[in-house]
Structure 1
Amino acid sequence: MEHDSELRITLIGAGTIGLSFAAFHLSHLTSPSHLTIYDTRPNAEEYILSTLPQFYQNGSVPISLSEINIATSLSSAVSTASIIQESGPENLSFKKQLWKQVEQHAPKDALLWSSTSGIPASQQSQDMQDRARLLVVHPYNPPHIMPLLELVPSPETLERVITRTQDFWLARGRVPIHLKKEITGFVANRLAFALLRESIHLVQSGVVSVTELDKIVESSMGPRWAVAGPFKSYHAGGGPGGLEAFFKNIGGTVQACWTDAGQVNVGDGWEDQVFREAREAYGIVATTERDAITRRVLNTIEEERAKTIGGEATSN
């Protein structure tokens, strides 16, 4: 598929995620005309062409966006597509109806992907004739920069659908991770939300402020986790004995923190304080700055890993 000059991709939904995917796909397709975008908003073409440049560094677009196909009907959008990727509203009834219609008009061998943040494929595919075709491909925002794609099949999704999807993203330098079972929120968000919950608990308890907690993360686990995840980090922290030695050394402290973890819930009353502090500290966050710095961090990690691998290869 990487070398298929006739590969055609259709994106359904031109929100933040959809257009971010558009920017990514346009950097790999042989022609902008091989990308089709379908969105139901009345001014779809004007909106897409004016908003898409924001997903490029400094708004500098290296291709002609006017060549992109802006479809006016769902049937025409999907009829010749090799891949159909939806990034529509997080609404189960919408997605069920959408896939039922897509299936009627799409080629039989087209890959069908949902970018949902939490609605499993087993629910989205309930009204489809062939439920084995659908796969959740959950990105980490923004997908034109962040490498992760969580591939979350339903129990009925065919193995070849998963394999073809993995091959597609691997060929484009991304990190597709096959989750072995459906789970609420998938994996990346569950990890992130666990940290968010404890962060809220610490602020609400008066231990730190919103900005102080952010500085702690940005000055410690943030940089560390960019190069080594929790298991690798703490395995290294145990020295020659690895993760086992780490737990033998400070397992009591780990357990005490787990036992004392904050049990905050949405609607418990912490919102006013935390929302106010975030608003006063950050106002409207400039995501362009965030994305530019994130891109440089990822590029640097890739360059340094390449040097390490090259050095090992030379020494061997």
Structure 2
Amino acid sequence: MEKDPHLNITLIGAGTIGLSFAAFHLTHLPSPSHLTIYDPRPNLEAHILSTLPTFFPPGDSPTPASLSQIKIAHSLPSAVSTAHIIQESGPESLPLKQSLWADVERHAPQDALLWSSTSGLPASQQAQHMRDKTRLLVVHPFNPPHIMPLLELVPSPSTSPSVIQRTQAFWTSRGRVPIQLKRETTGFVANRLAFALLREAVHLVEQGVVGVQELDRIVESSMGPRWAVAGPFKSYHAGGGSTGLEGFFANIGGTVQACWDEAGRVNVGDGWEEGVFRQAKECYGTVDTEERDRITRRVLEVVEEERKRGKR
């Protein structure tokens, strides 16, 4: 991709998501000096220099000299005053985000794109204190965003179509998959799907049907690889043979309905947590995210290679 020599990106928040986005943007910007990071933590520069390299594959991490070119902002006005894109990945606090965007709006260029990486706070609520509510757009990643292609674009009813189009063009040109949702909904789409599976997983473990590790192995050995190739609708459409999804439901719709009827009704705070949390700690301890990221990269590479092969 042609690297825009004039593009300046500001990231607000240097937690896991913020630095993951930093790693992604660094691979597409002409120089680390085009990236600005603002975070109120007192040891920000040391935190970035020690943590950011872990988001890159072994051997591909930028040098300390290169990372030192990243601009560290010590105030919000200085962080956003010359930015073309401002991407926020701060705490999930609605009052904080409402105040933040009002401040950003006062100091950022009028045509700067304003994106929130929130996991569940809609743009319509975040923009309440902004003068121009058309500017704000939720750009929700699937963790870790420096690897996962998906970006859910969740506009408020006020978000400008131009903001959506420019955002789609930005991510598409960088090989990502920006999907615009038609309306705001709690948790957006990817999280709702993931949390629905998590709820049933908790129910099955809590009921003693299966253990935490066995359930993970079931997913890793079935739905995991299948869904890397085709989502649920395409998968079950294929499962119906020549009659497609309609044929699938005609064949085993009764079993599907029975599972839906018996789906777990567990809720956070119901008392299942102690046992499930204990099993997760016993099975996994601290998860090796470097291994996770390495394998995930390779899975995505293979899927893309095979799709290109099929188009030849």
Give the TM-score of the pair, scaled to structure 1: 0.97
Alignment partner, residue 124 of structure 2: 122
Counterparts of 2:106 and 2:280, CA distance in 1: 46
Runs of 5+ consecutive residues of structure 2 not aligned to the other structure = none
State the one-letter code of the partner of 1:170: T
The SS at the match of 1:51 is helix
Per the alignment, residue 15 of structure 1 pairs with 15
- Equivalent residues of 1:53, 1:59 under 8 A apart: no
Count of aligned pairs? 310
What letter matches 1:209 in structure 2?
G
Q: Write the mapping of 1:1-316 to structure 2, written as runs, cut at 5 A.
A: 4-58=4-58, 60-62=60-62, 64-310=66-312
Q: Secondary structure at the match of 1:84?
A: strand
Q: Shift of the alpha carbon at 1:302? A: 0.6
- Cα distance in 2 for residues equivalent to 1:113 and 1:67: 24
Q: Which amino acid aligns with 1:58?
A: P
* Partner Cα distance (2:99, 2:252) in 1: 52
Residue matched to 1:313: none
Q: Which runs of 5+ in 1 are unaligned?
A: 311-316
User: Segments of 4+ in structure 1 off by > 6 A?
Assistant: none
Structure 1 residue matching 2:125: 3-state secondary structure: helix
Offset, 1:59: 6.0
Assess, with a 3 A threshold, how the Cα gap between structure 1 residues 159 and 187 changes in structure 2: closer, same or farther. Answer: same
Please tell me whether the aligned partners of residues 138 and 154 of structure 2 are also in contact (alpha carbons under 8 angstroms): yes
- Superposed displacement of residue 2, structure 1: 5.9
Residue 294 of structure 2 aligns with an amino acid whose one-letter code is: A
State how far apart, in whole Å, the 1-side matches of 2:99 and 2:62 are: 36
Q: Work out whether residues 2 and 168 of structure 1, in 8 Å CA contact, stay in contact via their aligned partners in 2.
A: no
Write the distance in 2 (CA, Å) between the matches of 1:87 and 1:179: 20
Other structure's SS at 1:141 match? coil
Letter in 2 for 1:126: Q
AA aligned opposite 2:37: I
Following TM superposition, by how much is the alpha carbon of 1:248 offset from its aligned partner in structure 2, in angstroms?
0.4
| 1:3, distance to aligned residue in structure 2 (A) | 5.3
1:46 Cα deviation from its structure 2 partner: 1.0
1:204–1:274 Cα contact (<8 Å) kept? yes
* Alpha-carbon distance in 1 for matches of 2:46, 2:275: 40
SS at match of 1:125: helix
